Amino acid sequence: MTISLLFGVHAHQPVGNFPAVIDDAHVRSYGMFLRVMERYPEFRFSVHFSGWLLDVLFERFPDDMARLAAMTRRGQVEWFGSGDCEPVLAAIPHRDRVTQIATLSDKIERRFGMRPRGAWLTERVWESSVVTALAETGIRYVAVDDYHFLCVGEDGARLDSFYSTEEDGRRLDLFPISEAARYRLPFSPAAEAVAWLEDLARQGQRASIYFDDIEKFGIWPETYEWVFEKGWLTQFVEGVLGSKLIRTETFADYHARENTRGIVYLPTTSYIEMNEWTLPAPRAAVYHALVAAEKAAGRFEAHKPFLRGGIWRNFMSRYPEANWMHKRMLGASQRMAALPTAQRSAAMQEQLHRAQANDAYWHGLFGGLYLPHLRRAVWNNLLALEAGLARLAPPAACEQGDLDLDGRSETALRNSRLQAFVRDDGHAALVELSSLALAHNFGDTLGAYAEAYHAKIDQAQAAQAGKTGEGIVSAHDRIAFLHAILPEDAAPDTRPRGIFLERLTPAGGALQPVDAYRAGEQPGGWIAAGADWQLEKAYRLDGDALGVSFRAAGKALPALIETELNLALPSCDGYGGRYVLADGSIPGGFGQTLELDGMRTLTLDDSELRGALQIAATQPVRLSARPHRTVSQSEAGFEKIMQAVCITLSWAPAAGLEQRITLRVLPAT
């Protein structure tokens, strides 16, 4: 009996990723993979490229895209669809699921002459609510992990073909991706992988279902040498084609000739590692201990379907920044949907789609929440969309509501140039300060959070632990350090990272946070009070400027008031970001510390921003600036990433004297 190898690869780059990263990915993976597979027309396989990446590749590597089109025409390649900009479909409205899927299907049909019947689910995030949009757009089957099936008690020995499910009477078929294949290809020697497939054939298995990231073929650490220089891919393809027990098929051909295994209803879940990453650090530690105990007892494989972590949407609960971005995106989608159809342009639709790209909303070994340039791409597109929406249906200049559903209201201040959102959480700081002209959110920073993997930081000497015998170590098991990192570098923040967070020193007392602001009578006004002092803070927009006034009163004025501004700028600690003094001199870059006495004006100049941000004070202040960095782990290792410039302004208040701090957006010079 022969076994069908259903072999699929998924290619994606986040919206807003650096061109050099995409070029490198193509040179080391996409292009190399296609050139190898082109030599073997009888090896049939399936591909999924996200739509945004396809657009970039057609522009930058047209010859390889022509090669892929030729392979499609000769029947070697089947195309899978999905959302055009790779959203997690479960996290966006039904109307946007439909437009995302249809946009990519149209693009594939136009460029490759094939309309997808299968779809890739971003990060294999499954919620049954996505079935209707997939079915409505002509998708007949998707591939999800075999783990999804095990979680509802399906027999692992029967996960060698597709099943069927339904939602609201709409059918969708489900292929279970083999975890064993995901971990074996391409990490074990090619001959062993082929022999493993042949053993499955001898056992009577119908199909071996593989669908995983193409980046494992050349981009993951050590894989370029292993897969291409040492010839793993060529050896594997030739081994499969030379076997009498294995035949390659597309999912489409297999689906057309086989019957479903039966009905199944899958739980809300993703792949097992993702479920782990969604857990906050303390609960993740408990989960890890439980998994370790089960492995030590030899029970893990039997019990793992019942040792589930969280779900993908937990990232909105774990990270307020992801939640804020997500709810702001949903609000923009609703505003666009409320427009008359004739007013909704293709450009607006694409901006919304790009703002829904999954990468910047989550974090694990992969995921881009910790990467400022990926969050910035979401904000760039979201704010460009909102600028267009404002021209058609201007929003209220001031409104209040709990936009992010965290139990605390936000006050939105808007004019035609700026948007400022103040959170009523006691700090009365800005959670967002956005320039519509620059399509940039200066409040787009990320706090320092405790992460379960921070426990590995003291294992620097064991970076290569676990690498034995032939093959290479999967990124899931690899420990490496891109920067020198100490445990204290990963200390979590004790306050949120906002713009205009105050601390003060009461007369004769110690510095303390101001965290009990209450709303004043005027919109944008806030009041904090102690036993014998009161501090008033008021926000006001004026064109391209945000003014924040402070006034202290009471029997005993604070000895010192300081306010902290966490400002996100595109260059971070790159060459393009620099401080400019009033006299035009440059004391340093954003990645350096800066101390100034008696400051009234400082400009933050950023060549990537296409503008600058000027800080001005009516009364002289002491300024202290430092980079805010977080510690995270990616497939390449532990790294420090600069999230924002943290600027502290301090002054001694005087009775009846107002201090006004102005942040003004300046055009590029």
**Catalytic site residues?**
123, 213
Give 497-537 as a DSSP string.
Answer: --EEEEEEE-TTS--EE----EE-SSTTEEEEE-SS-EEEE
Residue 349 burial class via C-beta count within 10 angstroms: exposed 0-12, middle 13-18, buried 19 and up:
middle
Residue carrying structure tokens 């990963």: 490
In angstroms, the CA 86 to CA 654 distance is: 55
Q: Name which of 362, 387, 365 is nearest 375 in CA terms.
A: 362
| Strand pairing report for 45-49 and 3-11 | parallel
Amino acid at 362: W
In angstroms, the CA 644 to CA 450 distance is: 18
Residue 221 contacts residue 480 (beta carbons within 8 Å): yes
Instruction: Locate 498 and state its tokens.
Output: 């906002």
Residue 147: strand, helix, or coil: helix
Q: What is the DSSP letter of 372?
A: H
- Count other C-beta atoms under 10 Å from residue 595's C-beta: 11
Which run of H or E residues covers position 150? helix 146-150
How many residues are present in the chain?
A: 669
Instruction: Locate 660 and state its tokens.
Output: 């006004």
Give 52-100 as a DSSP string.
Answer: HHHHHHHHH-HHHHHHHHHHHHTTSEEEEE--TT---GGGS-HHHHHHH
Q: Output phi, psi for 39, to 5 deg.
A: -75, -10
**Angle 309-310-312 from CA coordinates, rounded to 5°:** 135
Query: Could you tell me which residues are beta bridge partners of residue 269?
Result: 126
In angstroms, the CA 433 to CA 441 distance is: 6
Instruction: Locate 349 and state its tokens.
Output: 């639709």
Residue 548 burial class via C-beta count within 10 angstroms: exposed 0-12, middle 13-18, buried 19 and up:
buried
How far from chain centre, in Å, is Cα 231?
A: 33
Cis peptide before 186 (omega within 30 of 0): yes
